[in-house]
Structure 1
Amino acid sequence: MKKQYAVIGLGRFGGSICEALRKQGMEVLAIDTNEDKVNRYASIATHAVVADSTDENTLKSLGIRNFDHVIVAIGDNIQSSILTTLMLVEQGVKNITVKAQNDYHEKVLNKIGAHKVVHPERDMGIRIAHNIVSKNVLDYLELSDEYSIIELMAGETVHGKSLIELDIRAKYGCNIMAVKRGEHIDVSPSANASIKKGDVLIVIGADTDISRMERALFDDD
């Protein structure tokens, strides 16, 4: 069976999640208090309804507890976001992801039982900053306050060298999870794997270690 998702709040963030889930073939219920937004996503989502997510009876009537995952993507109304999350927790929703506006909002959401809290604007800011600082950084995913996964484009410095020659784990404390070359992805590459200019290395490690490695091996400017 297809998993069922509900997206509450159809701003840019909620709307993009709604579209992405539908493209992956998932069933999506789109919810917002704004009729124009609901009409906009009526042809995209499986179902789209105008509803107040802070009303307990409304959520019950939608059968919200039966959804596999509910995403609370409410925009600037922090009070509505918190109340909605609380209602979802009380109704026993299995997976609740909530968009936070700031750190205080996140603390409250965690305390009342949100399963995952995201900061799309902050996280995108971090990614853009990494891309600005280094042309070799293709993507960046923060795992915690100290650890990340990063995609790095191989340049002249590492061209023709094997992973054992680079000795990245011993020298920098980072691990190469995979190497992408065109359409081919080598997961857990062997120590003898040779790196070519243009390869994409997917690296996991502490932020400080990644920065040291990046400066030493991937700063070809």
Structure 2
Amino acid sequence: MAQFAVIGLGRFGVTACLELSKQGHTVCAADISESTVNHYADQLSFTVVVDASDETQLARLDLPSCQAVLVAIGENIEASILCVLHLKNLGVKQIWVKACTKSHHQILSKLGVDRIIHPEEEMGVRVAQALNYPMVNQYFPLNQSTFIVELGIDLQLSGRKIGWLLKERNSDIKPLTLRRDDYFNTELTNDTELRHGDSLVLLGSKTYLTKLAKRFRAL
């Protein structure tokens, strides 16, 4: 498994640490607050007190050996920016950073970080999408126009066939798999019947998938 580091143990940083640990990865969890580090010491494999604005302290952590470093520092934008500069100087391969403001985002873009994250905005978008399209369990963008989505099959769709569901089907849409309990069916045809509780995974254009979701809501 891979090795990661998370700098900043607020709610966002801790959640990332715990999830990476669940997936079997080694995580170095760092924060400037000794009380915060001590609080999570029993839950995380390796915790350390560090001032992320001090390059000398960061250098002791051997961060270049990590697959990626997530800078999850909260409202202290200056510390976040200094941390990124130091990580660049140390030769860290992948740097992901939580941005607090638009100005912070712009500075991080200029610094060339690998990914800028806006947790509240991204979660807000996902919640809005879930409210607007409750049949969509999960979605993953491949680019701005193409998505993979997992549709939950409810009672209204139970008994329908994929051919009916995708009656507007064209080259922009492709059913990838149908999950029923613990079984995944990848040999799908127009006659494959859907049942309540199934999950259907589709690959398609955003335009088509939006039309499909709107048709579901009209049922």
What TM-score results when the alignment is normalised by the length of structure 1?
A: 0.85
Stretch of structure 1 that moved more, 69-78 or 128-137? 128-137
For 1:48, what is the secondary structure of its paired residue? strand
1:153 equivalent in alignment to 2:149:
no
Structure 1 partner of 2:128: 129
For 1:38, what is the secondary structure of its paired residue? helix
Q: Quick one: structure 1 residues 32 and 186, their matched pair in 2 at CA, closer, same or farther if it must change by over 3 Å?
A: same
Structure 2 partner of 1:4: 3
Q: Quick one: structure 1 residues 81 and 169, their matched pair in 2 at CA, closer, same or farther if it must change by over 3 Å?
A: farther
Identical columns (%): 34
For 1:219, what is the secondary structure of its paired residue? helix
Give the alignment of 1:1-221 within 5 angstroms.
2-156=1-155, 158-167=157-166, 170=169, 173-187=172-186, 189-216=188-215, 218-219=216-217
C-alpha displacement at 1:51, in angstroms? 0.8
Report the Cα distance in structure 2 between the residues aligned to 1:208 and 1:104, rounded to whole angstroms. 32
C-alpha displacement at 1:134, in angstroms? 3.2
- For 2:36, the aligned partner's letter is K
Q: Quick one: structure 1 residues 189 and 25, their matched pair in 2 at CA, closer, same or farther if it must change by over 3 Å?
A: same
C-alpha displacement at 1:152, in angstroms? 1.6
What TM-score results when the alignment is normalised by the length of structure 2?
A: 0.86
Q: Quick one: structure 1 residues 150 and 167, their matched pair in 2 at CA, closer, same or farther if it must change by over 3 Å?
A: closer
C-alpha displacement at 1:214, in angstroms? 0.6
Q: Deviations over 1:35-82 (max 9, x none)?
A: 111111211222211111121111112222222221111112222222
Report the Cα distance in structure 2 between the residues aligned to 1:168 and 1:109, rounded to whole angstroms. 45
C-alpha RMSD of matched pairs (Å): 2.5
CA contact (8 A) 1:168 1:213 kept: no
Report the Cα distance in structure 2 between the residues aligned to 1:84 and 1:191, rounded to whole angstroms. 54
Aligned residues: 219
C-alpha displacement at 1:187, in angstroms? 4.1
- For 1:159, the aligned partner's letter is S
Q: Deviations over 1:81-124 (max 9, x none)?
A: 22212221221111222122244433332331211222221121
- For 1:93, the aligned partner's letter is V
Report the Cα distance in structure 1 between the residues aligned to 2:144 and 2:84, rounded to whole angstroms. 24
Report the Cα distance in structure 1 between the residues aligned to 2:184 and 2:105, rounded to whole angstroms. 36
Q: Deviations over 1:121-149 (max 9, x none)?
A: 11211121122223312233344444433
C-alpha displacement at 1:189, in angstroms? 3.6
Gaps of 5+ in 2: none
Stretch of structure 1 that moved more, 103-112 or 65-74? 103-112
For 2:217, what is the secondary structure of its paired residue? coil
